[in-house]
C-alpha cells in the first residue's frame, strides 16, 4: 500500500512519463518531461528503489561534490507533481527516469499503484524514434493507443505493431489491462543527425501534448534552441554534397506524401494552437510564440515547407475614409449599377495576379503538416506506434 503523505489532492491529474534509453532517440522525450518539470517547478514526492530495477554496470551511478562532501546519485525513476492553474486547472504527475534493466512488470505495477493512489485519469508516455524524415520539415509526431474508444474520441491511431518493444510499449499495455486510459506520443528524429539533444523534436512533442491534454505549456527558450539546431544542421549538410542531396530527396518524398493530407482536423488544430499563442499574457513571448518544429506562429506554405506571415486583415469601407470612392473590385465595393450584370472585361474587375493561389479551397490549406505520418526506418515499428528498431538502436 502506497501512502503519499504531503501530496495534495490533485485536479484531473494526468501522468506524463518518459524514459531514457531505447525509446528516446535524441533524448527528445526525456528532455520534454524535464522541461515540464523545470518550467512548472515540479516537486519530487517519490523515487523507485534503484536496486530493484537497474543494472549498475549498464547505468552507472555518478559521484559529485557538494560543499566539499562526496555524494552519489543512483540511476532511478522519480515522480514529481506540478500544479497547473488558470481557467481550467489540471495537475500533472511527471515520471522521469531510465528504462529499467530488469523486472519490467513489477516496475509498471509500481507506477500504476502511484497512478491509482493519485487518481490519475490518463497516462501519456512520450517516446522518440529514428526515422527517414528531413530535419528541414516539421517533426512528425504520432499518437497511438491500444484503446479503440480512446482512438476514436481523441483522433489517435490504434496500435497494430508486432515485434520487439521497449518500456513505453510495456507500460502502455499494462495501463490498458489495468483499465487506465493510456496514449503514447512518438516523435520521429532524423536518423542522420541522431545525436542528442534535439530541441526541435522536444518542441514538437510538447506541442502535441498540449493539444492532447488541453493545457497551455510554456515553451521558454525551446523555440530559439530549435531554430539554432536547424541552422547548425543546415550548415553541416551544406558542407557535404552527398548529405545535401540525400536531404533533398527526403524533402521531396515528404512533401509528395503529405500533399493530400490537408485534413480539416489538422487545420483546426493548427489554428487553435495559433490562437492560443496569440492570447496576451498566456506565457513567455506573448503573441507569435514559436510553434511546432521551432517555426513561428505563421501560416505554412505546404509546397515549400517555408513559413510566411499571414496577410493582415484589410479594413472595411467604414474604417477607411473615402473608401466609397475606391476603384471597383476592392473589398467592400458597392453593387454594380442596374443593367451591368454579366458585363465582361469590366475595368478593375480582373482578379489581382496570384489571387487564385490565395483563394480558399484552391489548394492544400496551411498547417496541414501538423499531423504528418512518420516515415520510420525499415527496422522500426510501422506507422504511428513506431518504436526504435529491433537492433536496439535508439539514437543515443
Q: What is the pLDDT of residues 174-183, one digit of tens each?
A: 999 999 999 9
- The C-alpha angle 275, 122, 42, rounded to 5 degrees, equals 75
Does pLDDT of 337 surpass 50? no
Does pLDDT of 67 surpass 50? yes
Average pLDDT across the chain, whole number: 75
- The C-alpha angle 303, 305, 307, rounded to 5 degrees, equals 115
Name the pLDDT band for 347 (thresholds 50, 70, 90).
very low
User: How many residues in total does the chain contain?
Assistant: 396
Query: Is residue 394 included in any domain, yes or no?
Result: no
How many domains in the chain?
A: 1
- C-alpha–C-alpha distance, residues 188 and 130, integer Å: 6
Does pLDDT of 369 surpass 90? no
pLDDT at 260: 52
pLDDT at 334: 43
Looking at per-residue confidence, does 373 or 38 come out higher? Answer: 38
Does pLDDT of 240 surpass 50? yes
Of the listed ranges 3-7, 36-40, 217-221, the one predicted with least confidence:
3-7
pLDDT at 109: 96
Of the listed ranges 95-104, 191-200, 313-322, the one predicted with least confidence:
313-322
Q: Are 105 and 167 in contact (CB under 8 A)?
A: no
Name the pLDDT band for 286 (thresholds 50, 70, 90).
very low
Of the listed ranges 99-108, 115-124, 268-277, 328-337, the one predicted with least confidence:
328-337
CATH of the domain at 32: 3.40.50.10900
Name the pLDDT band for 2 (thresholds 50, 70, 90).
low
Query: Is residue 132 included in any domain, yes or no?
Result: yes
- C-alpha–C-alpha distance, residues 226 and 158, integer Å: 30
pLDDT at 5: 67
Quick one: three-class SS letters along 57-119? CCCCCEEEEECCEEEEECCCCEEEEECCCCCCCCCEEEEEEECCCCCHHHHHHHHHHHHHHHC
- C-alpha–C-alpha distance, residues 108 and 316, integer Å: 60
Query: Is residue 26 included in any domain, yes or no?
Result: yes
Name the pLDDT band for 270 (thresholds 50, 70, 90).
low
Does pLDDT of 353 surpass 50? no
- C-alpha–C-alpha distance, residues 182 and 172, integer Å: 6
**Look-up of cell digits 535508439:** 394
Q: What share of the chain has pLDDT > 70, as a percent?
A: 64
pLDDT at 294: 38
Q: Are 216 and 283 in contact (CB under 8 A)?
A: yes
Looking at per-residue confidence, does 394 or 55 come out higher? Answer: 55
- Record the pTM: 0.66
pLDDT at 162: 87
Query: Is residue 377 included in any domain, yes or no?
Result: no
Q: What share of the chain has pLDDT > 90, as a percent?
A: 49
Q: What is the pLDDT of residues 13-59, one digit of tens each?
A: 999 999 999 999 999 999 999 999 999 999 999 999 999 999 999 99
Query: Is residue 247 included in any domain, yes or no?
Result: no
Quick one: three-class SS letters along the chain? CCCCCCCCCCCCCEEEEEEECCCEHHHHHHHHHHHHHHHCCCEEEEECCHHHHCCCCCCCCEEEEECCEEEEECCCCEEEEECCCCCCCCCEEEEEEECCCCCHHHHHHHHHHHHHHHCCCEEEEEEEEEECCCCCCCCCEEEEECCHHHHHHCCCEECCCCCCCCHHHHHHHHHHHCCCCEEEEEEEEEHHHCCCCCHHHHHHHHHHHHHHHCCCCCCCCHHHHHHHHHHHHHHHHHCCHHHHHHHHHHHHHHHHHHHHHCCHHHHHHHHHHHHHHHCCCCCCCCCCCCCHHHCCCCEECCCCCCEECCCCCCCCHHHCCCHHHCCCCCCCCCCCCCCCCCCCCCCCCCCCCCHHHHCCCCCCCCCHHHCCCCCECCCCCCHHHCCCCCCCCCCC
Residue 135: which domain range? 14-221
Does pLDDT of 330 surpass 90? no
Query: Is residue 160 included in any domain, yes or no?
Result: yes
Name the pLDDT band for 327 (thresholds 50, 70, 90).
very low
Query: Is residue 364 included in any domain, yes or no?
Result: no
Query: Is residue 342 included in any domain, yes or no?
Result: no
Return all residues near 383 (Cβ < 8 A) that are at least 6 apart.
142, 144, 157, 160, 161, 373, 374, 376
pLDDT at 283: 39
- C-alpha–C-alpha distance, residues 185 and 45, integer Å: 25
Amino acid at each position: 500500500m502506497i501512502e503519499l503523505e504531503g501530496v495534495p489532492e490533485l485536479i484531473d491529474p494526468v501522468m506524463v512519463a518518459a524514459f531514457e534509453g531505447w525509446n528516446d532517440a535524441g533524448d527528445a522525450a526525456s528532455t520534454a518531461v524535464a522541461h515540464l518539470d523545470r518550467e512548472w517547478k515540479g516537486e519530487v514526492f517519490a523515487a523507485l528503489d534503484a536496486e530493484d530495477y537497474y543494472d549498475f554496470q549498464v547505468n552507472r551511478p555518478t559521484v559529485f561534490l557538494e560543499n566539499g562532501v562526496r555524494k552519489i546519485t543512483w540511476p532511478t525513476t522519480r515522480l514529481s507533481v506540478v500544479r497547473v492553474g488558470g481557467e481550467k486547472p489540471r495537475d500533472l504527475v511527471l515520471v522521469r527516469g531510465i528504462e529499467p534493466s530488469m523486472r519490467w512488470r513489477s516496475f509498471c505495477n509500481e507506477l500504476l499503484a502511484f497512478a491509482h493512489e493519485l487518481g490519475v485519469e490518463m497516462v501519456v508516455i512520450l517516446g522518440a524514434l529514428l526515422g527517414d524524415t528531413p530535419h528541414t520539415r516539421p517533426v512528425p509526431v504520432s499518437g497511438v493507443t491500444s484503446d479503440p474508444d480512446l482512438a476514436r474520441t481523441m483522433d489517435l491511431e490504434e496500435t497494430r505493431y508486432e515485434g520487439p518493444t521497449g518500456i513505453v510499449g510495456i507500460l502502455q499495455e499494462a495501463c490498458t489491462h489495468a483499465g487506465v486510459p493510456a496514449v503514447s506520443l512518438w516523435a520521429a528524429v532524423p536518423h542522420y543527425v541522431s545525436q542528442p539533444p534535439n530541441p526541435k523534436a522536444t518542441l514538437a512533442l510538447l506541442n502535441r501534448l498540449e493539444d492532447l491534454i488541453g493545457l497551455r505549456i510554456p515553451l521558454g527558450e525551446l523555440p530559439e534552441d530549435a531554430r539554432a539546431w536547424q541552422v547548425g544542421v543546415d550548415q553541416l549538410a551544406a558542407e557535404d554534397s552527398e548529405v545535401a542531396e540525400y536531404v533533398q530527396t527526403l524533402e521531396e518524398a515528404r512533401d509528395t506524401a503529405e500533399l493530400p493530407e490537408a485534413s480539416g482536423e489538422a487545420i483546426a488544430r493548427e489554428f487553435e494552437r495559433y490562437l492560443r499563442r496569440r492570447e496576451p499574457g498566456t506565457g513567455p513571448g506573448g503573441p507569435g510564440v514559436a510553434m511546432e518544429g521551432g517555426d513561428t506562429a505563421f501560416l505554412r506554405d505546404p509546397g515549400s515547407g517555408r513559413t510566411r506571415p499571414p496577410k493582415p486583415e484589410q479594413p472595411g469601407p467604414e474604417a477607411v475614409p473615402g473608401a466609397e470612392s475606391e476603384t471597383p473590385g476592392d473589398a467592400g465595393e458597392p453593387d454594380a449599377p442596374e443593367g451591368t450584370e454579366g458585363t465582361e472585361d469590366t475595368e478593375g474587375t480582373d482578379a489581382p495576379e496570384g489571387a487564385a493561389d490565395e483563394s480558399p479551397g484552391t489548394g492544400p490549406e496551411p498547417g496541414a503538416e501538423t499531423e504528418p505520418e512518420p516515415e520510420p526506418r525499415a527496422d522500426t515499428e510501422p506507422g504511428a506506434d513506431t518504436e526504435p528498431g529491433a537492433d536496439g538502436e535508439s539514437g543515443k
